[in-house]
Amino acid sequence: MDYFKLFNNFSRKKILVIGDLVLDRYIWGKVNRISPEAPVPVVEVTHENFLLGGAANVAHNIVSLEGQVTVVGIAGKDSAGGVLKSILDEKGIGSCIFDDRRPTIVKTRVIAHNQQVVRFDREDKRKVAGRAFEALIDCIKSAVRDHDAVIISDYKKGIVSPELVAEVVKASRAKNRFIAVDPKAGHFHCYKNVSLITPNIMEASHGAGIEIKDEKSLIKAGRALLKKLPCKSALITRGEDGMSLFDKGRVTHIPTVARQIYDVTGAGDTVIAAFTLAHVSGATMQQAAVIANHAAGIVVGEVGTAVTTRAKIMESIRSASGGF
């Protein structure tokens, strides 16, 4: 496989990302004592920063891999929404963002000595409906024709519904576009007739209604998902056990390449971004899964929501294969 040629194609491809937009806020500090008021650590704050989360992080992964991207979603008319939009602009991410009279989703993580002390969320998870839903669909229908693939990033915060997925599938199939979904447990009834789903082991087990405890039950669950939805392919991410791709009757197990795992935050975003961009750039499903596996192996080795680059993935593949 000519990885150089494949990776060079990334910059020519444009991906449409639809889903729940999240602003990740990180408060960093150190702990030297326990509070006299309660048995909790006192974090002395040293600094804080903001990163893109949810569907916005999927988009960030794509531009980090030098692909082109547009993200569609909901954000509030608040300071967090302003920060989110400014970061999207700074990263060169196109956006189609609507206000639904709800606050921008913010996940705040307090980190001390590279360990997460606590996380607190601000969110409104009501289903998006009415004018906001209509605006989303109009934007999606218009954008599909100018993009090579569609990613639905479901964080179960109100954007993704059976109605939205049905509209995305209808518009995408008319243009023969690849549709990938990063799912959430409890929402599998939404994902009918898409090209690919990328559940983790827990989500796959829940979606298939089968407890996954060994290779036999894994294969049974993967095949059940394809039949149940139905969808063309499924990539089940299995943490330290790697990934398993179910495609066209075949099952391909891909061992992990992660050297060390510090933080899995956002790893699913990296997987679906790298897989989709690689596939529409010319990789087979199996080759795209290998590339996504290397991408995930890199980001889990960093603390916090992280992205990777084409150069890092190439180096990871080169190291694993002994050169090419």
Distances (CA, A) of 82 to 103, 104, 119, 177, 236: 11, 9, 22, 32, 35
Selection from 68, 240, 246 nearest residue 151 by Cα? 68
Beta strand residue intervals within the chain, DSSP E:
14-19, 21-34, 41-54, 68-74, 94-98, 105-112, 115-122, 149-153, 178-182, 196-197, 233-237, 243-247, 250-254
Residues near 160 by Cβ (< 8 Å), separated by ≥ 6?
18, 19, 20, 152, 154, 184, 187, 190
Identify residue 45 by its one-letter amino acid code. V
Positive or negative: CA dihedral 161, 162, 167, 173: positive
Beta strand residue intervals within 37-87, DSSP E:
41-54, 68-74
Q: Is 241 a catalytic residue?
A: no
Residues near 214 by Cβ (< 8 Å), separated by ≥ 6?
none
Annotated active-site residue in 24, 148, 247, 269: 269
> String of b and e for 50-85 (b: at least 16 CB within 10 Å)?
bbbbbbbbbbbbbbbbbbbbbbbbbbbeeebbebbb
Catalytic (active-site) positions:
269
